[in-house]
Amino acid sequence: MKRILFIVACFLFSIVGVAQKQTPLKSLPLIPLPKDVKWSNDHFILSSQTKIVLMSDAFKPEVDYINNYFKANYGFELATVLVLPSDGNYILISRPDFEAGWLENYELNINQNQIFIVAEGNAGLFYAIQTLQQILPLEKSPEIKIPCVQIKDAPRYKWRGMHLDCSRHFFTKDEVKKYIDYLAMYKFNVFHWHLVDDQGWRIEIKKYPLLTSIGGTRKETIIGKAVWNKDGTPSKDNKYDGIAYGGFYTQNDIKEIVAYAQSKYITVLPEIEMPGHSLAALAAYPQFSCTGGSFETFTRWGVSDDVYCAGRDETFSFLEDILTEVMELFPGKYIHIGGDECLKDRWKACPKCQQRISVEKLKTEEGLQSYFITRIEKFVNSRGKQIIGWDEILEGGLAPNAALMSWRGVKGGIEAAKQKHNVVMSPGKPCYFDHYQSKDKTKEPLAIGGFNPLDSVYAYNPTPTFLNAGESEFIMGAQANVWTEYITSFAQVEYMSMPRMAALSEVLWTPTEKKNYKDFIIRLKLHAPALDKLGVNYAKHFKSLK
């Protein structure tokens, strides 16, 4: 330990020069901007002779990660040693002198001879490496010039999420992994995986194979925007493509993706919708509906009137069986149970649902929704997990331990925080990345509507300023949602989410007082070649901004 202290002391002495020669912050492609960053015009020269000094074996996975990166991008790996080399330059990875439980924090200090990384946890080291990667040159060279920097970093929020709807359109395992790569690059730590909806069931459940063999396919898909009759029914003028559409993830696929995300310190949050958005499941198992069916997986967008029957105990057994398999696949604390947009017409007409309302003294269908969610919560809690749901789960009373995801604005999130429930903010404005990002819609791919330009995302503050400290504590963070009714390919997922994802990363990571949109755009322009190298189909509107 003394030796490390000595090294750190020498290092601190050497960085005095770094701080003095600091140039304006604008010229490093760092996103999200670290909490505290200084740099000079000096460089560390990394070559195949550079050693990695590893002070803790626990950090080996991250050393392998960075070595894989060096090998893929520069054609060499670095040797790992346990003692300081007597000559040559090196990267020293160590833990801080005392542990404070800040597992995502790190320090990255680079002078002309050494790169020092200090992290208490593997996640912190991983984030230090993400930062380092952003300032590495993109060109292959035997001598890699890295700017001398002095960075102290820590996230603003503990929940930094991105969502992807794989029900309306299906994305392959490799595409999902690519999405996870982008999340990791910007230090997100939650991937919200929307696996189930009216238009397709995408997760293998061993006990109920029809969920994927029937619910995993729709016979065709509507073309463009739906046309509606005056009475709210879909018009006969709607056009369908006549092509069967399907796909699902096997449990092995899921395990592979969860492990892949875990290696990048990303928790996968599965969403299993209930009681609404459940038509694909009911197409496979109509006995859990109010009417008994029959049903087809939805071929158009929107919300189905048919939902799970809350009056049948068998519905709950069915969902508990599904959740049992889901909870075994996803190691995170939370399971997302949807809860949004459950139309109540079927419940109003269903004798079993009405009987439940009467026996349980629930008064209304909203009360029945609350009963449904609370009953599911009890089961999930009994297995050691927590539920999170969209803000409709407030209706009729929030289940006792539920966390809430606020999407219809922030009102629900504020209400839940006041009731001392954990909250993730995800208001349609500006967190729906399926909305348009440019005013000129004629130049954009067809989108669901709305307008969430890059600057509106950047300006977002997930914690309303009028909340008191005790209430703000319950705002865990925020996330953006990528619904895919009108997003038919992964290239379009990239277009809609990048660079808005980069802007959101700064909302979630960077201290508010350090944020500056003009500076962000300068850094984004510097960062764009890295996206080009990765082949990302990002939206380029920002390139014309001054």
Residue ranges binding ligand ACM (CB under 6 A): 340-341, 390, 407
Subset of 321-360 contacting Zn ion (CB under 5 A): 350, 352-353
Q: 348 or 408: whose CB is closer to ligand ACM?
A: 408
Strands 334-338 and 196-197: unpaired
Nearer Cβ to ligand ACM (135/196): 196
Nearer to Zn ion, 180 or 353 (CB): 353
Cα 401 from Cα 144, distance rounded (Å): 51
Handedness of CA 227, 229, 233, 238 (dihedral sign): negative
Q: How far is the CB of 303 from ligand ACM (least distance, A)?
A: 8
CB 265 within 8 A of CB 122: yes
Q: Which of residues 295-324 bind Zn ion (CB under 5 A)?
A: 309, 311
**Binding range to Zn ion, per CB under 5 A, among 71-79, 106-114, 220-228, 290-298:** 290-298
3-state secondary structure 396-439: CCCCCCCEEEECCCCHHHHHHHHCCCCEEECCHHHHECCCECCC
Total residues at the site for Zn ion (CB under 5 A)?
Answer: 6
Are the CB atoms for 504 and 461 separated by under 8 Å? no
Q: Which of 320, 341, 444, 519 is catalytic?
A: 341
Count Cα atoms within 13 angstroms, Cβ side, for 472.
11
Q: Which range touches Zn ion (CB under 5 A), out of 248-256, 272-280, 287-295, 380-388?
A: 287-295
* In the complex, minimum distance from the CB of residue 12 to ligand ACM, in angstroms, rounded to a whole number: 49
Is 360 catalytic? The answer is no
| 372 binding partner (options ligand ACM, Zn ion, none; Cβ < 5 to 8 Å by kind) | none
**Residue 342 near which of ligand ACM, Zn ion, none (CB within 5-8 Å, type-dependent):** none
Is 81 in contact with 131 (CB distance < 8 Å)?
no
Report which secondary-structure segment, H or E, holds 164.
Answer: strand 159-165
Taking the complex as a whole, the smallest distance from the CB of residue 307 to ligand ACM amounts, in Å, to 14
Give me the catalytic one of 277, 336, 435, 527: 277
Q: Write out the H or E segment, with its range, that includes residue 374.
A: helix 365-382
Contact 9, 15 (CB under 8 A): no
Contact 329, 356 (CB under 8 A): no
Distances (CA, A) of 14 to 11, 17, 153, 166, 363: 5, 6, 20, 50, 71
CA distance 515 to 502: 13
- For residue 261, the partner it binds in Zn ion, ligand ACM, none, with Cβ less than 5 to 8 A by kind, is none
CB of 286 to Zn ion, least distance (A): 12
Can you tell me the distance from the alpha carbon of 517 to that of 337, in angstroms, rounded to the nearest whole number? 36
**Shortest distance, position 368 Cβ to Zn ion, whole Å:** 9
Whichever of 156 and 194 has its CB closer to ligand ACM, that residue is: 194
Token pair belonging to 244: 């069967």
List the catalytic residue out of 120, 165, 197, 198.
197
> Which is nearer to ligand ACM, 390 or 474 (by Cβ)?
390
Is 541 designated active site?
A: no
- Residue 350 contact among ligand ACM, Zn ion, none, beta carbon within 5 to 8 Å by kind: Zn ion
Interacting partner of 407 out of ligand ACM, Zn ion, none (Cβ under 5 to 8 A depending on kind): ligand ACM
Between the CA of residue 442 and those of 436, 438, 439, what are the distances in Å?
11, 10, 9
CB closer to Zn ion out of 184 and 310? 310
- We find the least distance from the C-beta atom of residue 138 to Zn ion, in angstroms, to be 58
Q: Which does 455 bind (CB under 5 to 8 A by kind): ligand ACM, Zn ion, none?
A: none
Closer Cβ to Zn ion, 160 or 346, answer by number = 346
Peptide bond into 294 cis (omega under 30): yes
Q: State which residue, 118 or 269, has the beta carbon closest to ligand ACM.
A: 269
Upstream peptide bond of 430 is cis (omega within 30 degrees of 0): yes
- Which of ligand ACM, Zn ion, none has residue 15 at its interface (CB below 5 to 8 Å by kind)? none
- Please state the closest distance from residue 341 (CB atom) to ligand ACM, in A: 5
The one among 53, 119, 281, 290 contacting Zn ion by CB under 5 A: 290
174 included as an active-site residue: no
Residue nearest to ligand ACM (CB): 340
CB of 290 to Zn ion, least distance (A): 3
Query: Which strands make up the sheet holding 79-81, listed edge to edge?
Result: 36-46, 144-153, 106-110, 114-119, 90-94, 51-54, 79-81
Residue 341 contact, options Zn ion, ligand ACM, none, Cβ 5-8 Å cut-off depending on partner type: ligand ACM
Residue 526 amino acid letter: L
Where does this chain bind Zn ion (CB under 5 A)?
290, 309, 311, 350, 352-353
Active-site annotation, residues: 197, 277, 341
